[in-house]
Amino acid sequence: MANEDQVVAFKLRNEEYGFSILNVQEIKGLTDITRVPFAPEFIKGVINLRGSVLPVIDLKKRLGLEDTPYTANTRIVIVQYDEVAVGMLVDAVTEVRTINADDIDTSRTVTGNDSNSKFISGIGKVDDRLIIQLNLSEIIGLNGEE
Amino acid sequence: METNQYMEMFLDESREHLQSLNDGLLSLENDPEDLSVLNEIFRNAHTLKGMSATMGYTKTAELTHDMENLLDMLRKEQLKVSSEIIDVIFKCVDSLQEMVENIGNGESEDLVDVSDLVRQVNAIAKGDAAPAAEEAEEAAEGENAAAPVLELNDTDETVIREAKNSGLIPYAVHVEIAESCLLKSARSYMVMNVLDELGDVIKSVPPAQDLEQEKFDHSFDVVIVTDAEPKAIEDGVSAISEITEVKVTEITLSASKEETKEEAPKAAAPAAKKAEPKKADAKAEAKKPAGKNDKKAHVAGQSVRVDIEKLDTLMNLVGELVTNKVRLEQIGMTHRLTELTETLEQMDRVTSDLQSVVMKVRMVPVSQVFNRFPRMVRDLAKELNKDINLTIEGEDTELDRTVIDEIGDPLMHLLRNSLDHGVEHPDDREAKGKPRTGEVGLIARHEGNNVVIMVTDDGAGINADKIRNKAVEKGMISREEADALPDADAVRLIFLPGFSTAETITDVSGRGVGMDVVRSKIESLGGHVDVETKIDEGSVFKIKLPLTLAIIQAMLVKVQDEMYAIPLGSIDSTINITPDDIKTVQNKEVIVLRGQIIPIARLGEVLSVPKGADNDEEDIFVVVVHVGDHKIGIVVDNLIGQQEIVIKTLGKLLSGLKMLAGATVLGDGHVAMILDVSALM
């Protein structure tokens, strides 16, 4: 048990990604996103979550992936990290998976070395699928890189 | 002890009374002759004594008791109000405050050593009027000897004072019923009825229940406020049979207690002279809970302490409720369910009321923070041997509670600075041709979507050259940089960490931690602090705080499909123009409004709103806004209307975006950005 981690797996284009379930607060259907002028490009806008205004990060843009149109499967995954709640715009949420820690490859050779590699904390292997584990603190970008 | 459940109440009320004591003492110091203030102070002390004794805090009770003795002597003019006595009483209040806080922190009240203070208090009491002291003590203690005298407690006095302000006259009515009367209660009831018709009965002695149950001899007293002639009262009451005597006397308030007694001589038992009408009052108050509440609101609003987080949750839930209601409305519309729509209209009213109440709950007037400053300024001025007059303005300005809790310290710092470094010594002031008394102001007001709090003084001002030299000396900037700085910017160097200009370091301020701490605190609240100064004319420290979560009136405007809110406070006017009205000056678009040239900004372009269908409409809507003296016209596609909105922060991730003051959730659940108009200038 100790070596297992549950992840919320979701799709961006045709790749599968995951956040640790401990960071995921809830999953919401697509609602109106209000554009925020002058916001960093990867921030799609803000939404109203039960009276709180929450920023929504366009994950594809953040990871340098090409944009896709909204579909009926588009979801906003609300994650909580370091007291900050943020919505993540994803193409579809697939499932909650248990991944054995041994099955997660965190070596640099796997995560790559380009500018986007800092967003990836490892790659989990489940059956014959690969679930890319994301580094929330880098994605939210509170470390002052902007 | 079963006192725990009363603890919070005790602490809250003690704090309230201590605050009133502080306020009262301050006004007494300004006007030592004012007996009504003295009475108010005495009553506060007395209540405090009673409360702490009930709660079993004997030390607190003892100290209050000694203080009360002293006050009583002042009240009875056995002692003259002097600044030494006031100082000692202030010290007592301080110690009491400390004790109460200790109790609040679960510590023992004994931690505060008051033996010296007690000795001092008693010395004054004994030394100046030894025999009187005992009498005073007796008087304070002799509560149980209370006879039903027509005395006025503070509740009554408040009511009377208010009545007087609205042009009514208070009368004491003494009524005697024939000894032979069998149905005294019925007669008294008739009397009360007559009086009720003539005016408002404030109290009766004995209280109404006792009258009803015939628990009185053959006379009773009533206090009434009315616009009727005393003759009319007398006639009205005498007309009732078996009433033998009616005596109507006007009540004058200044020394109401003494005079009322004289005016109602029959009721005044000899023992009453020095007795507190505790018993009678208690009953009278119990009978009139409404009156009691009035008084509370008057002195210091009664309060319940609630965790801020709970309020946040409540507010968010209400928001969700509204969103769901809107959804229901849509369902009702699409399916044409009239019944549902009608019910929802009702619900709409309830929810919007609910929403506004919840929002307002979080707002607190700045007076909560400002309250403590008069006392601090007084003490500090004494310590520094300076003559200072503190003026407070706009204490009703409301701010979010979280902000209120945080601004106390920075304001304290600024005030201390003004007193210590700003205002000069009286002699120096005189030499400069200024009045000896320095003016220090603490002013709060709304300015656009901010609350501005200013600390002003008419002191020496800040010498920019001195600041430059100091900054260079401390290696903060180079000589060249310093010389290149305009004066206004040079003065702002005081906000840098590690800066202190006082030539001698006093323990009041000037340890080099002051201003940068102020600045970082204010900035952590999303605010901004600035300073303006003129040599020998004084300085103004201006704190600009955002109304996080504050409710403001805003104009909703539309640009393409995006909705924005412009705070109404900064809007001058909205006008309707045609494209021909727009002229250019040096390639910048302007309009001429009532002879004034106003630059315009097209909101769509400024905010790079994605272009939708071009609308070649003839009409152009311009919202003219102002910041200070500057005006600018904001060109928008459509004006939606005026609405009360709640400002929400955009959170850490989106903090510091220019042009945006926050966001708000509209009634239909959509989010709209709030424009920071000052950034457009």
Q: What does the pLDDT read at residue A58?
A: 92
B143, B85 in Cβ contact below 8 A? no
Residue of A48, A78, A45 lying closest to B666 (CA atoms): A48
Query: Are residues B541 and B460 located together in one domain of the fold?
Result: yes
The rounded radius of gyration (Å) of the Cα atoms in chain B is: 32
Query: Are residues B223 and B293 located together in one domain of the fold?
Result: yes
Nearest-CA residue of chain A relative to B664?
A53
Query: Are residues B372 and B455 located together in one domain of the fold?
Result: yes
Can you tell me the ipTM of this complex?
A: 0.86
What CA–CA distance (Å, rounded) separates B435 from B423?
Answer: 11
Task: Note whether A32 contacts B670, CB cutoff 8 Å.
Answer: yes
Task: Note whether A36 contacts B657, CB cutoff 8 Å.
Answer: yes
Range of the domain at B432: 367-546
Q: What does the pLDDT read at residue B297?
A: 38
B551, B356 in Cβ contact below 8 A? yes
A35, A51 in Cβ contact below 8 A? no
Query: Are residues B226 and B256 located together in one domain of the fold?
Result: yes
Query: Are residues B228 and B319 located together in one domain of the fold?
Result: no
Q: What does the pLDDT read at residue B496?
A: 76
Q: What percent of chain A has pLDDT over 70?
A: 88
User: With an 8 Å Cβ cutoff, is A32 touching chain B?
Assistant: yes
Query: Are residues B177 and B293 located together in one domain of the fold?
Result: yes
Which residues does A20 contact at the CB level (< 8 Å), separation at least 6? A5, A6, A7, A8, A133
Range of the domain at A33: 4-140
Contacts of A142 in chain B (CB under 8 A): 652-653
Report yes or no on A146 lying in a domain.
no
CATH value at residue A127: 2.40.50.180
Report yes or no on A145 lying in a domain.
no
- Any bridge partners for residue A34, and if so which? A46
What CA–CA distance (Å, rounded) separates B455 from B391?
Answer: 10
Top mean pLDDT of A52-66, A93-107, B41-55 is at A52-66
CATH value at residue B71: 1.20.120.160
Query: Are residues B404 and B477 located together in one domain of the fold?
Result: yes
State the nearest Cα–Cα gap between A143 and chain B, in angstroms: 10
Report yes or no on B564 lying in a domain.
yes
Query: Are residues B196 and B163 located together in one domain of the fold?
Result: yes
Q: What does the pLDDT read at residue A93?
A: 92
What CA–CA distance (Å, rounded) separates B34 from B51?
Answer: 26
Residue that is last in its domain, among B511, B546, B581: B546
Summarised one tens digit per residue, pLDDT across range B177-231 is 777 777 777 777 788 888 777 777 777 777 777 777 777 777 888 888 888 777 7
pLDDT at A76 over 90: yes
Which residues does B499 contact at the CB level (< 8 Å), separation at least 6? B470, B471, B474, B476, B493, B512, B515, B516
Beta strands in B37-146 (DSSP E): none
CATH value at residue B535: 3.30.565.10
CA dist B651 → A77, B207, B363, B519, B654 (Å): 17, 59, 20, 20, 6
Nearest-CA residue of chain B relative to A47?
B671
Report yes or no on A95 lying in a domain.
yes
Burial of B141-175, coded b for 16+ CB within 10 Å and e otherwise, reads ebbebbbbbbbbbbbbbbbbeebeeeebbbbbbbb
pLDDT along chain B (681 residues), means of 10: 65 82 83 80 82 79 82 79 82 84 77 77 67 41 41 71 76 80 76 79 76 75 80 80 80 52 42 41 40 41 74 75 75 86 87 78 84 87 88 86 80 85 86 88 83 89 84 82 82 75 46 66 74 87 73 83 86 87 86 88 86 69 82 90 77 79 81 84 71
Residue of B503, B496, B411 lying closest to B452 (CA atoms): B411
Report yes or no on A11 lying in a domain.
yes
CA dist A85 → A92, B83, B306, B525 (Å): 20, 57, 24, 20
Residue that is last in its domain, among B97, B116, B143: B143
Query: Are residues B386 and B434 located together in one domain of the fold?
Result: yes
Task: Note whether A37 contacts B659, CB cutoff 8 Å.
Answer: yes
State the nearest Cα–Cα gap between B397 and chain A, in angstroms: 25
Q: What does the pLDDT read at residue B668?
A: 74
Residue that is last in its domain, among B92, B109, B143: B143
Task: Note whether B320 contacts A141, CB cutoff 8 Å.
Answer: no
What domain count does chain A have?
A: 1
Report yes or no on B305 lying in a domain.
no
Mean pLDDT, range A47-69, rounded to an integer: 87
Query: Are residues B263 and B412 located together in one domain of the fold?
Result: no
Q: What is the three-class DSSP state of B223?
A: strand
CATH value at residue B641: 2.40.50.180
What domain count does chain B have?
A: 5
Helix (H) or strand (E) holding B344: helix B338-361
Nearest-CA residue of chain B relative to A52?
B316
Beta strands in B193-242 (DSSP E): 199-205, 219-226
Query: Are residues B606 and B491 located together in one domain of the fold?
Result: no
Residues of B recognised as catalytic? 46, 68, 417
Best to test chain B binding among A36, A53, A136 (most B CBs inside 10 Å): A53
Report yes or no on B304 lying in a domain.
no
A86: confidence class by pLDDT, cuts 50, 70, 90: very high
Task: Note whether B649 contacts A51, CB cutoff 8 Å.
Answer: no
